[in-house]
Amino acid sequence: TVCTIGGNIAENSGGAHCMKYGFTTNHVHAMTLVLPDASVITVGGAGVEVVGPDLRGAVIGSEGTLAIATSVTVRLLRKPEAVRTLVADFASAEAAGEAVSGIIAAGIIPAAVEMLDALAIEACEAAVHAGYSLDTAAALVVELDGPTAECTEDFERVQAICRAAGTTHIRFATDPEERMLIWKGRKAAFAAMGRISPDYFVQDGVIPRTRLGEALARMQEMADEAGLRVANVFHAGDGNLHPLVLYNAAVPGESERGEHLSSAIAELCVEMGGSITGEHGVGTDKACSMPKMFSEDDLAVMKRLRAAFDPDGICNPGKIFPTPRLCGERPGPYRVHPLEAAGLIDRM
């Protein structure tokens, strides 16, 4: 996979360290944009406060449906004085979830809190040998950074919270090389799935942190009913889940079961008070779930904003909204398309 600045802007991407440092929108001051009519504009500015509507904020996260960014002015941060990283193993995902809640309740703001379940750990270890324990049900990767004294004190508090939640083992990164190895395992997780499954669907739902254990248990029940496996690796600090629905496209019916389970997990997140996406966007896969989150009036306002930028509907058509938009089709109320009437396409 390839990560680009333009892609981060399109999706308002976050990542492992977004809990403390925010999403893409928190780091972009200004952008030069090419609009669908080929005109070029600049939104935002060098200062914190910019006069007029926040068009910069409207474009970030719009999935390429409003404009294309050709240059970006970003905010740079100083490297932290100190960094401390640990991996805490737990006998259950529920216990790991309790530790996450305890850390946040204590007023500690980690740079990152990541969780991997046993299936994800199996794949990561097979791929990069990061030193994760294969005898654990869940592992938390917790990283703190900041002034040395504060970082050291909070690191001790995090260890105590993990022990109170029932950690079975804590591994500390003793040098930068070990820290990078721990992160190499976490960051290799998606690609590592090829070690245990030929295909997978990835989701990006968000749930309240306090319901992590419940959500993982529900997903396991749903996976068992579908006869499929689900590996979990996600940003536990902000409740941004990345369940990986594993399947084999060569087996008749598995792809369809996997897609159905993936959509059901997204809707479970909404049911639990969360969202269908945290940073991967809606695209086409989750467009059918948008009415689960938003009313018709909500969606109509979004479409009017899109039409203000792109009245002819030519900028990345067919994304976000649950209609069979085709290239050049004008945004507006749903109408039967001639191809649909002819039975050549289906409504999404």
Whether 111 and 187 share a structural domain: yes
| Total residues belonging to the chain | 348
Strands 229-235 and 199-202: unpaired
Whether 94 and 166 share a structural domain: yes
Q: Does any domain span residue 347?
A: no
Of residues 94, 99, 121, 124, the one with CA closest to residue 110: 99
Whether 48 and 89 share a structural domain: no
Distance between CA 237 and CA 25 in Å, rounded? Answer: 19
Q: Does any domain span residue 104?
A: yes
In sequence order, what E strands does the chain have? Answer: 28-34, 40-44, 68-74, 82-90, 112-117, 138-146, 169-172, 199-202, 229-235, 243-247
Find residue 140's DSSP bridge partners: 88, 115
What's the pLDDT band for 58 if we cut at 50, 70, 90?
A: very high
Q: Does any domain span residue 100?
A: yes
Whether 301 and 210 share a structural domain: no
CATH number at residue 211: 3.30.70.2740
Whether 10 and 51 share a structural domain: yes
Q: Does any domain span residue 20?
A: yes
Q: What are phi and psi of 41, to 5 degrees?
A: -135, 165
Whether 91 and 150 share a structural domain: yes
Distance between CA 51 and CA 117 in Å, rounded? Answer: 47
pLDDT tens column, 26-48: 999 999 999 999 999 999 987 66
Residue 337, pLDDT score: 53
What's the pLDDT band for 347 if we cut at 50, 70, 90?
A: low
Q: Is the pLDDT of residue 298 over 60?
A: yes
CATH number at residue 54: 3.30.465.10
Q: Does any domain span residue 348?
A: no
Percent of the chain topping pLDDT 70? 91
Whether 97 and 164 share a structural domain: yes
Structural domain of residue 257, as residue ranges? Answer: 200-288
Q: Does any domain span residue 142?
A: yes
Mean pLDDT in residue range 154-172: 98
Distance between CA 85 and CA 297 in Å, rounded? Answer: 46
Residue 265 contacts residue 245 (beta carbons within 8 Å): yes
Q: Does any domain span residue 279?
A: yes
| pTM for the whole structure | 0.86
Q: Is the pLDDT of residue 325 over 60?
A: no
CATH number at residue 168: 3.30.70.3450
What is the amino acid identity at position 259? E
Higher per-residue confidence, 199 vs 333: 199
Q: Does any domain span residue 346?
A: no
Q: Is the pLDDT of residue 91 over 50?
A: yes
Whether 86 and 187 share a structural domain: yes
Cβ contacts of 296-304, under 8 Å, gap ≥ 24? 303/331, 303/332
Structural domain count of the chain: 4
> Residue for token digits 């504009």?
41
Of residues 234, 249, 244, the one with CA closest to residue 201: 244
